[in-house]
Amino acid sequence: MSAETTPLAIDTPTAPKGRSVLKRLLTNPQGVLCIAFLLFVIVFGLVSPVLAPYQPNQADLDAVNAPPFSPGHLLGADRAGRDTLSQLMWGTSGTLLGSVLVLVIAVLIGVTGGLLAGFYRGKFEAVAGFITDVIMSLPSIVLLIALFALTGPNVLVAMAVFGVLVSPTYYRLVRSVVLAVRTELYIDAAKVVGLPDLRIIGRHVLWAVRAPVVIQSSFVAASGIAIQAGVEFLGLGDPKQPSWGGILQNANANIYNNRFGVLWPALLISLTILALVLLGNVLRDVLQSSAHNNTLKKSRRRELVTSAQRARTEADRPDVPQEVLLSIRGLRIGYPDGPESVREVVHGVDLDVRKGEIHGLVGESGSGKSQMAFATLGILPKEAVILGGSILLDGEDLLADNKALKAARGHRIGYIPQEPMSNLDPSFTIGAQLIHGLRAVKKISAKDARKHLIRLLARVGIRDPEGVMGLYPHEISGGMAQRVLICGAVAADPELIVADEPTTALDVTVQAEVLELLRELSMERGLAMILVTHNLGVVADLCDNVSVMKDGRIVERSDVDSLFTAPQQRYTQELLESSRRVELLEV
């Protein structure tokens, strides 16, 4: 039902298609730079048999400790007269092979284990969880050094073991993604059509984990290179084969004779790691952000907000009759469509609510009805832009003056939300939240607030108010939670209640009780109410006047009796017809 009120949030960030990922990766300057550098490193290693000026370990005794840029030795040479550039080129393939090995082994073990554990759970998950905990508690560098005693100088074996040691990071990542995906209904649907588990995992689950795995791989490759260079630097590599870490070690030992020797291997190692880490960040942005980036430029947003504010101050105060409590005039709300453009979803709507009146705002999803309610409360989503108009509470423009809005909210305007459970904080007791909320808007001692709220809880139909004050939200039912929120909304004696689909999440019998309660409260306290709903039955039950919204405009407005007996607009008739089709008229 959340689609009902947040039509603009439907575009959940889903992994976009392959082509556009690559395209967006290549339009990101940082991404291009990283990819270009990594490609350069790969080519640098691959072409060494052809382009390297010297063979590996080929010594040129004339060039011992040659400084950079000496003839024939662009980056200089080491103490044995080996050309640094050639050594680095020859060492690259080993490094790349090592990090590919780490990746392959870690992905094979971690992803497979994570998929199976997340999908089947049970004993396999328990055992795999224990094993990963054990592996993660092992100190990897120490283990790799200990391994040297067994295998001798063999970096590939060391990297394979390192692959096993990092596989738990994949396992945990994949398992948590799978746990979320396996409850999706499309997995159930695949089971119902008879798809075997292997196909479900391969087709539906694997697809969902691919983005996080790709991102993680970038970071794992970076740490693989760092670890490999470290192991080689400690002298655990094969001394006959040139390697980045080995070159660094040699240069470091020789630093007093050749100051620049360490520069090149250190630079190559650091830049490669940096490129991989940065690429991982870019990948995360590209793969996990929503498919189209709809953020409005800050300057453009400011421009729009100030022009709306200017229009407000320049225009004459609209003439509002005395008995009108809340008056919305020409309200226009938009959402970013791109960096420069805004798509308007509420097109200059007027709405008057008299004192004590219950005004229904009816419409289907995307009609803008909830946007109106949120604007009145000043709780529109952050990306929304108010493009114009005023919201006058007793003649004071809430949109023009943020202080007025803050003073009115909670104190003079109360709010009853759609989802009672998600509007209560699970980590505080009902009593603590209610008292905190009341004391935030009213000068009252905690003791008095408590007394007042207990009385009010009893009024809204809670049987054991003192007991309920001490309960946590998960300990009460949805219907009770909504009563608690109603209690919170009326606690500070507001004049206006904005109720956004207050009964949509409730069972029909509870809905009837909550509607009854709202009616009684409105009569007792002379409360005005804006009731946002898609249910015409609820409107018929509770409202005095109704505005029908469609596509961001009010298409029809009248008192409740004439709207239902003689709807003027085609759209209203259609709405009525649709809801009467599923109605139980005869009693």
Partner 1 sequence: MNEKLLQVENLVVTFKGRHGISKRVIDDVSLDLHAGETLSLVGESGSGKTTIGRAILGLAPVTEGTIMFRGEVISNISRTQRRKVARGIQVVFQDPYSSLNPSMTVEDILVEPMAAAGAQGGRQRVRELLDSVGLPSDSGSRYPKEFSGGQRQRIAIARALALDPAVIICDEPTSALDVTTQARVLSLFKDLQEQTGVAYLFISHDLGVVNSISDRIAVLYQGSVVELGEARQVALNPRHEYTRRLQMAAPVADPAKQRERRSARLKLLANDKTTFDTNSAAATL
Amino acid at 339: P
By C-beta, is 155 or 543 nearer to partner 1? 543
50 with 81: CB under 8 angstroms? no
Q: How many CB atoms within 10 Å of residue 91? A: 26
DSSP states along 474-522: GGS-HHHHHHHHHHHHHTT--SEEEEESTTTTS-HHHHHHHHHHHHHHH
Ramachandran category for residue 45: left, alpha or beta (phi over 0 → left; psi -120 to 50 → alpha): alpha
Closest approach of Cβ 484 to partner 1, in Å? 12
Q: Which amino acid is at 97?
A: L
**C-beta of 194: minimal distance to partner 1 in Å?**
4
Report strand pairing: 553-559 vs 545-550.
Answer: antiparallel
Cβ proximity to partner 1, 144 vs 514, nearer residue: 514
Residue closest to 448 by CA, chosen among 415, 484, 492, 496: 492
Shortest reach from residue 101's CB to partner 1, in Å: 30
CA 81 to chain centre: 56
Give the residue with the Cβ less far from partner 1, 328 or 430.
Answer: 430
Tokens 């409260």, residue? 521
Nearer to partner 1, 340 or 507 (CB): 507
**In the complex, least distance from residue 504 CB atom to partner 1, rounded to whole angstroms:** 10
Tell me whether residue 71 or residue 194 sits nearer to partner 1 (CB atom).
194
- Smallest distance, Å, CB 344 to partner 1? 20
What is the closest distance, in whole angstroms, from the C-beta atom of residue 464 to partner 1 in the complex?
8
What CA–CA distance (Å, rounded) separates 563 from 383? 35
In sequence order, the β-bridge partners of residue 386 are 333
CB of 483 to partner 1, least distance (A): 8
Pick 199 or 297: Cβ nearer partner 1:
199
Nearer to partner 1, 242 or 360 (CB): 360
Q: How far is the CB of 147 from partner 1 (least distance, A)?
A: 41
Q: Decide whether 1 or 134 has the Cβ nearer to partner 1.
A: 1
DSSP line for 27-64:
HSHHHHHHHHHHHHHHHHHHTHHHH-SS-TT-B-GGGT
- Cα-based torsion angle of the residue sequence 282, 285, 287, 293 in order, rounded to the nearest 10 degrees: -130
Residue 146 CB, nearest distance to partner 1 (Å)?
Answer: 43
Using a 10 angstrom Cβ sphere, with 0-12 exposed, 13-18 middle and 19 or more buried, the burial of residue 163 is: buried
Of 453 and 539, which CB lies nearer to partner 1 in the complex structure? 539
Residue 571: what residue type? Y
d(CA 375, CA 584): 36
Write the DSSP assignment of 196-214 as a string of letters. Answer: -HHHHIIIIIHHHHHHHHH
According to DSSP, the residues that pair with 200 across neighbouring strands are none
